Amino acid sequence: MLLNRERALGYMEKNDVDVLVAHTPENVFYSSDVFNGSQWLNYYHSDMYVAIPRDPEVEPWMILPASAGGRTWIKDLRTYGPPTYTLKNKKEMVVPFEDAEYIGGDAEPSDILGGTLEEKGLAEKRIVFDELSLPLYRKLSGRLPKATVSMSGSIFKAIRMVKTEEEVERLTRVVKITEEALRVMFETVRPGVAVREIADAIKQTAIQESAVPELLIPLGGPNLQGGDYTLKNGDLFFADIGLRHQGYLSDFGRTAFIGTPSRQIEQYYDAVLKGEEEAIKAMKPGVKASEIFKIAVETVRDEGIPHYSRGACGHGIGAGFDLPLIGPGDDTPLEENMVLEVETPYREIGFGGFMLEDTIIVKRGGARFLTEIDRGLRII
């Protein structure tokens, strides 16, 4: 199970929420384990809801298209819309979830939601959505006049900050795939190769490992160019890579230099490396995200880039880009089993740029790396 259900119930208690409803693609996936590509594309017949009651005696339920498939821990499934599978011998349409209650091809998911709330005795409770459109709010408020219907995106964000064991396993796997893509990248970087060719090699490696590239920023040369720019001796090259595998994201990168680096390049890279190292050393439960940011930036400045400036030096990672933000305005205390990206990149027009970012998990004794690939400047 991806959902940290104990943490979810704790936040529901804290915020006096009787029913927490996931509607966005990320939160539906996180709450149910069901990844439905049609919902991410906002395709016809793609609306999905996962409802988690605070009362342990009330079974959670899920409303999803009849065409959706996958595995879920939720037992109460209610489907709608046209099925997409046909049994050849019987010539009849079937739905992937055999145990689901099929409401009908013309059923409206919002009507199913309202009816289920009534059926489960929740028509007068406080119902909070992660995302709530005005039409849905009006429909539910009209049907359930004694209910309190509202929206709070912050609750799911808070729940998702701390990862379950299944989430950590998925994040570890996507990190390994991304590291393989980086190894291929280093093998491809050489004089005369266009940035576009390196990007293609990264994408091909990801796809071979059943991952989907969602973030890819490869840049080279003194003016940070991509596309058809051809690398030459004396160029810096870096890539920031984000892949999705089993619904979970990676986001980290590395830097290469073609030739013999100057003293300035060595000094600057050592500075960003030291900044990342000191930030990671400080990452323990109870330390504020803003304090980690301050350590990273001040260390880079002290180590040789006095003008170094960043809006953030990392963020949580999971089914999406999660909180906390390692930035000056986020005072969230770190908690055990938060998984974060820590980064101290540097870019300067006329000089080039570095990308240094790693995935770590917070533990009681400090941070542990999920990334294992060498963090030094790769000399080509």
CATH number of the domain that residue 20 is part of: 3.40.350.10
Same domain, 156 and 46: yes
Residue indicated by tokens 């990672």: 317
Domain that holds residue 107: 5-160
Cα 99 from Cα 216, distance rounded (Å): 40
251, 294: one domain: yes
pLDDT digits (tens, 9 = 90+) for 283-313: 999 999 999 999 999 999 999 999 999 999 9
Residues 94 and 129 in one domain: yes
Specify the pLDDT at position 95.
61
Per-residue pLDDT for 322 more than 80? Answer: yes
Please give the pLDDT value at position 324.
98
Answer whether residue 94 shows pLDDT above 80: no
pLDDT digits (tens, 9 = 90+) for 51-83: 999 999 999 999 999 888 788 999 999 999 877
Which of 160, 187, 205 is the last residue in one of the domains?
160
CATH of residue 277: 3.90.230.10
Judge contact between 195 and 218, C-beta under 8 A. yes
Cα–Cα distance for residue pair 293/67, rounded to 1 Å? 45
Residues 93 and 235 in one domain: no
Q: Look at residues 142, 160, 178 and tell me which one is the last residue of a structural domain.
A: 160
pLDDT digits (tens, 9 = 90+) for 134-155: 999 999 999 999 999 999 989 9
Which amino acid is residue 3, in one-letter code? L
The answer on 327 and 197 residing in a single domain is yes
Using omega within 30 degrees of 0 as the cis cutoff, is the peptide bond preceding 324 cis?
yes
CB 315 within 8 A of CB 343: no
* 92 and 108 within one domain: yes
156 and 173 in a common domain: no
Q: Among the three residues 115, 131, 160, which one is the final residue of a domain in this structure?
A: 160
For residues 211 and 179, give the distance between their C-alpha atoms in angstroms, rounded to a whole number.
12
- Overall number of domains in the chain: 2
- Clarify whether residues 169 and 145 are in a common domain: no
Residue 279 CA: distances (Å) to CA of 68, 235, 276, 301: 42, 28, 5, 13
- Cα–Cα dist 297/281, whole Å: 14
pLDDT of residue 31: 97
- Considering the domain architecture, whether residues 237 and 341 belong to the same structural domain is answered as yes
pLDDT in tens, 174-204: 999 999 999 999 999 999 999 999 999 999 9
My answer on whether 121 and 240 are in the same domain is no
pTM above 0.85, yes or no: yes
Clarify whether residues 144 and 76 are in a common domain.
Answer: yes
What end-to-end distance do the CA atoms of the chain give, in Å? 43
Alpha-carbon Rg for the chain, nearest whole angstrom, is 24
Looking at the fold, whether 238 and 136 belong to one and the same domain comes out as no
Give the whole-angstrom CA distance, residue 149 versus residue 163: 28
Mean pLDDT of the chain: 94
pLDDT for residue 84: 66
